[in-house]
Structure 1
Amino acid sequence: MTTESASTRSGRSSLPDRLLGTVERIGNKLPDPFMLFLFLFLIVAVLSTAMAWANVVVTVPGAAEETVIKGFFTAEGLSWFTTTLGANYLGFPPLATVLPILLAVGVAEKSGLLSALIRRAFGSAPRWALPYAVGFVGVTGSIMSDAAFVVIPPLAALVFKAAGRHPVAGLLGGFAAAGAGYSTSMLVTSLDALFSGITTAVTASLPNPGAPVNPLSNYFFNFVSSFVLILLAGFIIDKILEPRLTRQGVPTEETADAEAEGTNTGSAAAVPALSSELTWTERKGVIWAVAAGAVVAAAILAGALLPDSPWRNEDGGFLPKSPLLNSIVFIVFVLFTVPGLVYGKITGTIASAKDIPRVMGASIKDMSGFLVLAFILGQFIALFNWSGIGNWIAVAGAGGLESIGLTGYPAIIGFIALASVLNLFIISGSAMWTLMASVFVPMFALLGFEPAFIQGAFRVGDSATQILTPLNPYMIVLLTMLRKYEPQAGLGTVIARMLPFTVLFWLAWVGVLTVFYVLNLPMGPGNGIYIGG
């Protein structure tokens, strides 16, 4: 029996519950992301107009001319907006990268390939290695997007119980690893495309934007981070979470009223019935899918290594820019689509060619909320860049940091801490990065930091704290799963058990970033720490 649950029964509010209630009350006062950015758009429109009437100009270091602030509510501003509304939306860079990757991931996910690979990873792990297998699958699970929060925890509980370990440790550990490590992966995901697209949009108006940002710009940092977080997740599950659950006497069997409890929460339907064992057909499909992916990867590598390859740059190389790096979206597309189609054909989940647009359409449908949000995000970024107010904030902010002597790595730590706090209230990573990138990427660029480095720093704050906030809808799904074992568990129970993951993930991830900063290591191919460094 947990302390949190006991406190709840006795009517006393535990400290985690009180803290959670405060976060929930504050967070509930925020509008949804669409209305939030509509409100911010109007604020920028009014401020830019006032500054334009005051004839405000700003001198950006390195720019040939002064930037004149242009107002939205002027003849020029209204003409600009009414003639570019559609272009502002369709020109929103993440659309060009995220949508193709979503189509490809949709094939791999809807065909069942991603789920089968995860189940294979769990099922083949020995008992002692199960926590680290959960860490691996959880941290790299962002490749499945939000589906990771629903698929991974019950699978982890299933294999933990089958191995004689505490199923709740697998359940909570799977969720924590998937959530706290969401922004990193050993593979390139749609999140990389999304973040890099937003960063590119923000840097478009900078006189010295540094190296171009693409979906691979944080790959080296992501790879090292994911390796560290995988080991750390396994350690926390094995040495902290599971022993604590055992000491507290948390049941290892589902209670008799689990079904009724799940019905009361209204989320039971979201928890799938899953098996860790693959059928013969599924195993055959995985083998052929992996083989197909290897053939595609070998063909791409061979084509790139040809002496006269069309994917080389003018100097015959690949860095800092080349057609190969500009083809990342295509490469990711085929590496997901081809294995997904092969797996689907063998297992029967994709029976004919007409099923291909069906599964692709299903993945786009799942992201319809983002497509709507992208409309207002595109308008906000376009106005921010067109008006010049972003340059003014960047110059003023950089000057303010310099005046108090906060210009080096301490400023980066402060930026990560701010992102961690905001992440408690703004769950959408794209919405929060749009907001923060508009201000901080130009500001830190004036201090000499590469946009790709700031994007990497944002990833730390964007992930570590999202498993603590009730504004994360998947917390309710997790609570439904947990109540099958502890019917009286509340959100306070969940947050108390997530805290070790958040704190240790945050510290370790900042540590990895610090190593990259101190040693001046590249964040990804062609992207370093300092502009021109």
Structure 2
Amino acid sequence: MSTATTDSRRSLTDRFLNGVERVGNKLPEPFTLFLILFGITAVVSTAMAWANVTVQVPGATEVTIIRGLFTAEGLTWLTENLGPNYLGFPPLVTVLPILLAVGVAEKSGLLAAMIRKAFGSAPRWALPYAVGVVGVLGSIMSDAAFVVIPPLAALVFKAAGRHPVAGLLGGFAAAGAGYSTNLLVTSLDALFAGITTAVTETLPNAGSPVTPVSNYYFNVASALVLMALAGFIIDRVLEPRLNRQGVPRDEVTGDADAAPSRATDLRAELEPKESKALRWAMIVGVVLAVVIAVAVSLPGSPWRNEEGDYLPRSPLLSSIVFIVFTMFVVPGLVYGKIVGTITTGRDVPRVMGEAIRDMAGFLVLAFILGQFIALFNWSGIGQWIAVAGATGLETIGLTGYPAILGFIVLASLLNLFIISGSAMWTLMAAVFVPLFVLLGYEPAFIQGAFRVGDSATQVITPLNPYMIVLLAMLRKYEPDAGLGTLIARMLPFVIPFWLAWAAILSIFFFFEIPMGPGNGIYLPASE
């Protein structure tokens, strides 16, 4: 390939990426964005109310009358429900307890110890696959995964004689491209389920309740495939390319502008006390899991439903948040007590408080998200858009899987500009969940399809703030590296991840495999 051709392609890539950055930078930050959307919804709903617009939702016994915010009824509704709209925002009920629990496990050092153990015990040939496993599982740490996993992966790669930049970039790619899935139930599952529930509350015949485990089967299958795929790409694509390009294996600059990492003071190996603490935390976790399993499995268990089963509704499914909370808090306390990060009872609320402080931005954003969702549901605009959209798709015959793929593509494109998963799902769920429910799909399935779009592309957008952190880490090896360098090295992950995840969703769709306990693909009435 000629130098001129290479330079031309780089120029096209740079222009495209610069365009993405310019467009994205013109978008308001999420709070302002949803404040604007709230205002637009208020105006449109009022105009439709004045025009006496109504909609007949299939399955509903009564006609839905569109109500406007700037009417006497609307203004009193807002002034009476500003607080309830916020405190009643369903994600808060599930996300906050899990955040407190994950905060104990993270601040005690348990999660970091598990990551270091996974890296430290992996043989040299298996390190890329260990990075794939840890990266995908890293979403349990939320955004912390983006700053903890990459430098640790670089450290263990270098210690094993492999290219540290492959570990650095591979760790980031696995953590980002697989962000929406996990083998464990995470706060993200609770967050998405809460938003979906908020949308479906006003829909008749919306299928089984959406809980934090509604996508669990799909998540497990996806996580296993993406872990292996991430390891393969690191091993067979990324590292060989870095070697061919002659990227330095040692840090060549002490750049003072390099962003600090929360993991730079960590070693790959665990100290004896840390190993002991991790061992006891795992033992306690297993014992706790056995106790819970026995309690819910006994004949006549109060966690069964009236028919003696667990599906589609039961106290067990309603207790998922408690189970997740317990499985993080108790092992976290055991670990912290042994290593000394948690010594007294006063340390427990302290680490929980630190976890809440880390999520202060979400708690502020949740205020306007709750107002937007509440107005969207109360006004009836969501039902009107859903009926109109479903009718339009049926008219052109686009109601099958192509419509689902189109939805995923749209989510992937929006993910280049709206980095917040909760903000994007709030926006898309309000429109697409009711639409696809009318087409006969379970809300949990649409939520699972959204996960495919809300992951892979976030590691190639300049609007991802952690890309800047990663760039600072990369410049320790390549001082001249830029965002174009990062994005070019992320693309080998993005396309295979997207295709693999879409293929997994296709298998669940065509074979009608349940997405999670009690949640299938189609609504019962459509079967």
Q: Deviations over 1:427-465 (max 9, x none)?
A: 000000000000000000000000000000000100010
Any conservation in 2 of the 1:158–1:276 contact (CA below 8 Å)? Answer: yes
1:425 maps to which residue?
417
1:329 maps to which residue?
321
| Residue of structure 2 aligned with 1:202, choices 199, 202, 206 | 199
Q: Following TM superposition, by how much is the alpha carbon of 1:19 offset from its aligned partner in structure 2, in angstroms?
A: 1.9
1:520 maps to which residue?
512
Any conservation in 2 of the 1:121–1:133 contact (CA below 8 Å)? Answer: yes
1:178 maps to which residue?
175
Q: Following TM superposition, by how much is the alpha carbon of 1:397 offset from its aligned partner in structure 2, in angstroms?
A: 0.5
1:127 maps to which residue?
124
| Residue of structure 1 aligned with 2:87, choices 79, 85, 90 | 90
Any conservation in 1 of the 2:97–2:325 contact (CA below 8 Å)? Answer: yes
Task: Say whether residues 1:289 and 2:286 are aligned partners.
Answer: no
Aligned-partner residue type, residue 50 of structure 1: A
1:437 maps to which residue?
429
- Cα distance in structure 2, aligned partners of 1:398 and 1:513: 22
Task: Say whether residues 1:347 and 2:344 are aligned partners.
Answer: no
Q: Following TM superposition, by how much is the alpha carbon of 1:203 offset from its aligned partner in structure 2, in angstroms?
A: 0.2
| Residue of structure 2 aligned with 1:46, choices 31, 43, 46 | 43
| Residue of structure 2 aligned with 1:18, choices 8, 15, 18 | 15
2:59 maps to which residue?
62
Aligned-partner residue type, residue 212 of structure 1: P
Q: Deviations over 1:470-505 (max 9, x none)?
A: 111100110011001000000000000000101000
- Cα distance in structure 1, aligned partners of 2:283 and 2:14: 50
| Residue of structure 2 aligned with 1:146, choices 136, 143, 146 | 143
Task: Say whether residues 1:411 and 2:400 are aligned partners.
Answer: no
- Cα distance in structure 2, aligned partners of 1:391 and 1:13: 46
Q: Deviations over 1:361-400 (max 9, x none)?
A: 0000000000000000000000000000000000000011
- Cα distance in structure 2, aligned partners of 1:492 and 1:27: 16
Structure 1: any 5+ residue segments left out of the alignment? none
Q: Following TM superposition, by how much is the alpha carbon of 1:405 offset from its aligned partner in structure 2, in angstroms?
A: 1.1
Q: Following TM superposition, by how much is the alpha carbon of 1:275 offset from its aligned partner in structure 2, in angstroms?
A: 1.0
Aligned-partner residue type, residue 118 of structure 1: I
Any conservation in 1 of the 2:152–2:263 contact (CA below 8 Å)? Answer: no
Structure 2: any 5+ residue segments left out of the alignment? none
| Residue of structure 1 aligned with 2:100, choices 100, 103, 113 | 103
Matches within 5 A, 1:350-365: 350-365=342-357
Residues matched between the structures, number: 521
- Cα distance in structure 1, aligned partners of 2:428 and 2:505: 19
- Cα distance in structure 2, aligned partners of 1:346 and 1:276: 19
Q: Following TM superposition, by how much is the alpha carbon of 1:223 offset from its aligned partner in structure 2, in angstroms?
A: 0.1
Q: Following TM superposition, by how much is the alpha carbon of 1:273 offset from its aligned partner in structure 2, in angstroms?
A: 2.6
Any conservation in 2 of the 1:16–1:496 contact (CA below 8 Å)? Answer: no
Aligned-partner residue type, residue 499 of structure 2: L
1:37 maps to which residue?
34
Matches within 5 A, 1:478-489: 478-489=470-481
1:225 maps to which residue?
222
| Residue of structure 2 aligned with 1:508, choices 484, 500, 504 | 500
1:370 maps to which residue?
362
Q: Following TM superposition, by how much is the alpha carbon of 1:133 offset from its aligned partner in structure 2, in angstroms?
A: 0.5
Aligned-partner residue type, residue 160 of structure 1: F
Q: Deviations over 1:6-42 (max 9, x none)?
A: 97xxx99643322221110000000000000000000
1:397 maps to which residue?
389
Aligned-partner residue type, residue 48 of structure 1: S
Q: Which stretch has the larger CA shift, 267-276 or 232-241?
A: 267-276
Task: Say whether residues 1:320 and 2:312 are aligned partners.
Answer: yes
CA 1:269–1:233 in structure 2 vs 1: closer, same or farther (change >3 Å)? Answer: closer
Q: Deviations over 1:229-272 (max 9, x none)?
A: 001001100111111111111111110x2x22xx235x235563
TM-score (norm 2): 0.97
| Residue of structure 2 aligned with 1:381, choices 339, 351, 373 | 373
TM-score (norm 1): 0.96
| Residue of structure 2 aligned with 1:493, choices 463, 474, 485 | 485
Task: Say whether residues 1:457 and 2:449 are aligned partners.
Answer: yes
Aligned-partner residue type, residue 180 of structure 1: A
Q: Following TM superposition, by how much is the alpha carbon of 1:301 offset from its aligned partner in structure 2, in angstroms?
A: 0.6
1:214 maps to which residue?
211
- Cα distance in structure 1, aligned partners of 2:202 and 2:224: 35
Q: Following TM superposition, by how much is the alpha carbon of 1:128 offset from its aligned partner in structure 2, in angstroms?
A: 1.0
Q: CA RMSD in A?
A: 1.3
Aligned-partner residue type, residue 507 of structure 1: L
1:238 maps to which residue?
235
- Cα distance in structure 2, aligned partners of 1:332 and 1:166: 37
- Cα distance in structure 1, aligned partners of 2:222 and 2:263: 29
1:531 maps to which residue?
523
